[in-house]
A and B are shown apart, each in its own frame.
Chain A
Amino acid sequence: MSIWRRLRTLWRNLTHKRMVDDDLADEIRSYQELLEDEKAGAGAGPSLARREALLELGGAEQIKENVRDVRLGSNLEAIVAELRQSFRGLRRNPGLTILCTGMLALGMGASTVVFSIFYAALVQPLPFRDPQRLVELWEMRQSRGINRAAFSEANFWDVRTRNHSFEQLAAAHYDEANLTGSGPAEKVTAISVTANFFHALGVSPVLGRDFAPSDDHGGYDNRVLILGNRFWRSHLGGDPNILGKTLRLNDRACTVVGVLPPGEPWINDQVYEPFGYRPDADRGSWEFSVVGRLAPGVSVEAAHADLQRIAGVLGQTYPKDDKGIGISFGPSSAWVAGDTTKRALWVLLGAVTFLLLIACLNMANLLLARGTSRQREIAVRTALGAGRARLVRFVMMESILLSGFGATLGLALAYFTVHAIQSLEIAGIPRLADAGLNPWVLTFAALIAMLTGVLSGLAPALQAPASGIAAALRDTDRQTGSRGQGRLRSLLVTGEVALSFLLLVGAGLLIRSFTELMNVNSGFQTGHRLMFSVSMPGSYYEKGVGKQFLDRLFERLSAVPEVVAVGAISHRPVEGGNPGMGIDSVPPRRGPGDSAAPWASWRIVSPGYFRAIGLPLLRGRLFDNNDKPVWAEKGQPEAPRRVVISERLAKLIFPNEDPTGKQVTLWKGQSGGDAEVIGVVGDSRERGLASDPSLTVYLPYGRIALTSEIVVHTRGNPLALVPTVRSIVGALDPNLPVADVRSFEDVVNRGVAPQRFNAIVLGVFSGFALLLAMTGLYGVLSYSMSRRTSEIGLRVALGASGRNILSMTISQGMRPALLGTALGALGAFWLSRYMMALLFGIKPFDLLTYSAVAIILLATALLACYLPGRRAMHIDPAVALRIE
């Protein structure tokens, strides 16, 4: 039979119910008349014929009912009727309905929020063509323990011409530029890219043109610009006639030739300049990000082999810079979220699943309890001939309806929560701004709503028809709920407790890690420090303009009464870049086994920096104004080269000796050059609290070595100083933008924002979980006690003391709690290893966390048992026994 026919019939049955029924009534009446005719024809009188006809016909209504049952869509009608009935039932029990809806809304809302963040960060594809073939390439020097470094310019051009594996290879260099001409000067990110950069990514401008291959060879005078979409909107109001107009970048006029489509944050807020090919490109300085698109048909292995071959050639051809070079690449999916972020999001998704599961168990528990008091209704239905399937459907309907309510409320909750989280602008969660209730997230929400409904309705539904009908019909009040049901409910509570334990341990570990992180000795003094950056244009590097500016700035800032110390550094701690160099003592002190020179971060600092940031001098002296940069200025006599090193570095390259006055080789294995160590300062966590203290070499600032990150140590609130800072800088050079103004405390805290977010979210989840599990425990116990009222009354009458009753209750309640705790501990022990990457300063099996969680869980469980127990204690035997 065609599906069309069925649908048409179904449609007719449902919409023209009246007509179909009337037709049936007519048909039965005609049948009856024909019967009467037949009987009359056989000789019966009219009244007898009528009687016989009616007898043979049977009940007309029953026939109609039978016909209705076979009609298409009869199931649908029954379901609608049951839905209506369930709805009425829920309305009669507003307490239960609100409780269940609230619980599920919480669980599903939380799941939806986490999933929307998860989706945006890990699932949503990059907005580039065929992102699977898109990769990022990097250099390595594994002999020196460097597994990943940026490309040097010359190496990039060589790899680009020599490789046979990539359809496109493109490089980008991040830089900052001062945008002037409209209002106050502003620091913007200006990225120089090879002409094929956007082509390699698979992005074409929405306005104007892409860079042409000739742009790479236009030299440094080729001043054309492509704008990121958001930059175009925020700085130029989305001007549709922008093409051909000029922007002043670092005091040079650049012509806009194109505007990019909206995309990832790192390709949205910037302006792009052509890279420019230089035959004399530098090979020693690793500054370039390189992206590539694998050629069709080239496997990842083949590409790796190809790059290895090129690395071998480069190493032999340019031993000075490329000795031991390796080249590797990784998938573009890592551009959005790194491994730790991925792990953190998976952990959050797991946690929220547990929370939802607990909500399901809890609801199943509540519905089971209700099922007991509803046994009579179910028994009546069974007696009236409702089949098992129909009963299951009827009971299930309720939980599905509840999960529908929960999902609706949960979605509303999720909507507001996602917005709230977005407004917090938590650093470190990729694409947070993209998170939202998109179709994928909605599908997910619908799916979990359905699953939740079925899951939480399963236990009550299977329980329903199993209970004895006869017993149920005979007397419902004495039903104590079957033994099996009591066990089932205890089992559900055990599950809830175990899952809560898992969540609590997860949260506990993250919170412990976070406090460890916050208490770690950063080496810096974070309080009362203001940081800001002045972005100095190229002209500042000529004729000592920049040095002069900085010195005047230090002088004026120092003159402000609240200021204690002022200093500057080339790369801001925690947030700034982390350039490095090979360094070793002259002659090397370390054993012949350690062939490679240590790799240390280098920073240019002003003499005042150490005091301003609070790094203690341990040996020797700090820089003074006579110390000159380690790079010689053209046309100037070479000054003595002096450096200050950090304590760990000192211990590493000068074991057991005082390094002051000793010589070290800087940029060992690269450009080289010796310098004298004049002092040793304390270690600091340059790359954020979660990273180990850096090995650091400090180099003196000067006319050609400028420091753009200013640190001011003040007596009061550092942010109160901001207007003063702005006016001082503005007075010195109105075209110099002051950017990234923040307290150092804020800078450090932002560095641990993801850890803080994870700890808070997991903490909140586990709090909910604990609450739900305890409600479950309390519910089961108090229900069971109320059912046992007469039994307890009898016990009391026979001489049981209140204490006996209380301890009986508590031991009954604590059994699932203890079992759950034990199971949870086992599960946590097994699962917490997956959190290893997120932990700091503690082991996944942290005894303190585990015991604290167990104590919290059992103490709350005791409380949840005590309340029904106390009620049971005060049962009056006379009253209790009279109920019988």
Chain B
Amino acid sequence: MPPSSTTALLQGTLDVLILKVLALEPMHGLGISRRIAQVTHGTFQVKPGSLFPALHRMEEAGWLSSTWGESENSRRAKFYRLTKAGTHQLKDETEQWARISAAMASALETP
């Protein structure tokens, strides 16, 4: 899929996706990007240009923490994991998304 047709990320979407993906296990940047593409069936292709600022912003906000580790193919990589605050944030944002999407769906389905 060419980048132009990639659905533009809604404000805040990227954050919740990252949180969701990291909820399962700690991951490095590329892993996160690939997993997001996978779980959204390719709708969202996260470019490093948006991924890195988001990761660093969320780390500064205290939702993520990072450590250098070794990747599956023995490369040095920085791994991100969810903090307690991040878990909370994920819960809050999930609820909010559920409300919004329900509202949007009902609004759009109304003839």
Contacts and interface: CB of A to CB of B under 8 A. Distances in A.
Interface in B32-89: 47-50, 52-54, 56-57, 60-62, 71, 73, 75-78, 85
A497 B75 CA distance: 74
A33 interface: yes
Contacts, number: 67
Contact of B60 (A9, A26, A56, A57): A9
A1 B85 contact: yes
B71 to A, nearest CB: 6
Interface stretch (A62-70, A274-282, A372-380, A724-732): A62-70
B73 to A, nearest CB: 6
Contact of A69 (B53, B77, B85): B53
B29 interface: yes
B88 to A, nearest CB: 11
Interface stretch (A34-42, A155-163, A522-530, A564-572): A34-42
Nearest to B71: A34
Given A30-B76, A30-B78, A34-B75, A62 B30 contact: no
Interface string A38-71: 1000000000000000001111001100110111
A561 B21 CA distance: 113
Interface string A1-23: 11001100100000000000000
A28 interface: yes
Given A5-B62, A35-B30, A38-B30, A66 B77 contact: no
A67 B52 CA distance: 6
A683 B78 CA distance: 100
B49 A70 contact: no
Contacts of B77: 30-31, 34
Nearest to B47: A58
Interface residues of A, number: 28
B52 A30 contact: no
Contacts of B57: 70-71
B52 A71 contact: no
A194 to B, nearest CB: 69
Nearest to A5: B62
Given A1-B85, A67-B56, A70-B53, A31 B71 contact: no
Nearest to B77: A30
Nearest to A38: B30
Interface string A182-206: 0000000000000000000000000
Contacts of A56: 47-48
A67 B60 CA distance: 11
Contacts of A6: 60
Q: Which of A26, A30, A57 has the most CB of B within 10 A?
A: A30
B29 A1 contact: no
Contacts of B48: 28, 31, 56-58, 63
Contacts of B60: 6, 9, 70-72
A30 B75 contact: yes
A638 interface: no
A63 B52 contact: yes
A37 to B, nearest CB: 6
A66 B62 contact: no
Contact of A70 (B30, B56, B62): B56
B28 A34 contact: yes
A66 B75 contact: no
A577 B44 CA distance: 94
Contact of B30 (A24, A34, A67, A69): A34
Nearest to B34: A38
Nearest to B50: A66
Interface in A538-581: none
Nearest to B74: A37
B36 to A, nearest CB: 14
Contacts of A24: 52, 56
Interface string A647-684: 00000000000000000000000000000000000000
A2 B60 CA distance: 11
A27 interface: yes
A66 B76 contact: no
Nearest to A30: B77
A404 to B, nearest CB: 31
Contacts of A33: 75
A37 B75 contact: yes
A25 to B, nearest CB: 11
B52 A62 contact: no
Nearest to A34: B30
A28 B77 CA distance: 9
A34 B28 CA distance: 10
Contacts of A2: 62
Contacts of B54: 70
Contacts of A67: 52-53, 56
B38 to A, nearest CB: 13
Q: Which of A9, A38, A62, A66 has the most CB of B within 10 A?
A: A66
A286 B77 CA distance: 96
B62 to A, nearest CB: 4
Given A30-B75, A33-B75, A62-B49, A71 B28 contact: no
Nearest to A36: B75
Contacts of B47: 56, 58
A57 B49 CA distance: 8
A385 to B, nearest CB: 16
Contact of B56 (A26, A37, A62, A71): A71
B53 A31 contact: no
Contacts of A62: 49
A774 B58 CA distance: 57
Interface in A382-439: none
A66 B51 CA distance: 10
B55 to A, nearest CB: 8
Nearest to A31: B29
Interface of B: 28-30, 47-50, 52-54, 56-57, 60-62, 71, 73, 75-78, 85
20 contacts: A1-B85, A30-B28, A31-B30, A31-B48, A31-B77, A34-B28, A34-B77, A37-B75, A38-B30, A58-B49, A62-B49, A63-B48, A63-B53, A66-B49, A66-B53, A67-B52, A67-B53, A69-B53, A71-B56, A71-B57
Interface of A: 1-2, 5-6, 9, 24, 26-28, 30-31, 33-35, 37-38, 56-59, 62-63, 66-67, 69-72
Given A26-B76, A67-B52, 10 more contacts: A1-B62, A1-B85, A28-B48, A30-B75, A30-B76, A56-B47, A56-B48, A57-B48, A58-B47, A67-B53
Closest 7 CB pairs of A and B: A70-B57, A1-B62, A34-B30, A66-B53, A70-B53, A27-B78, A30-B77
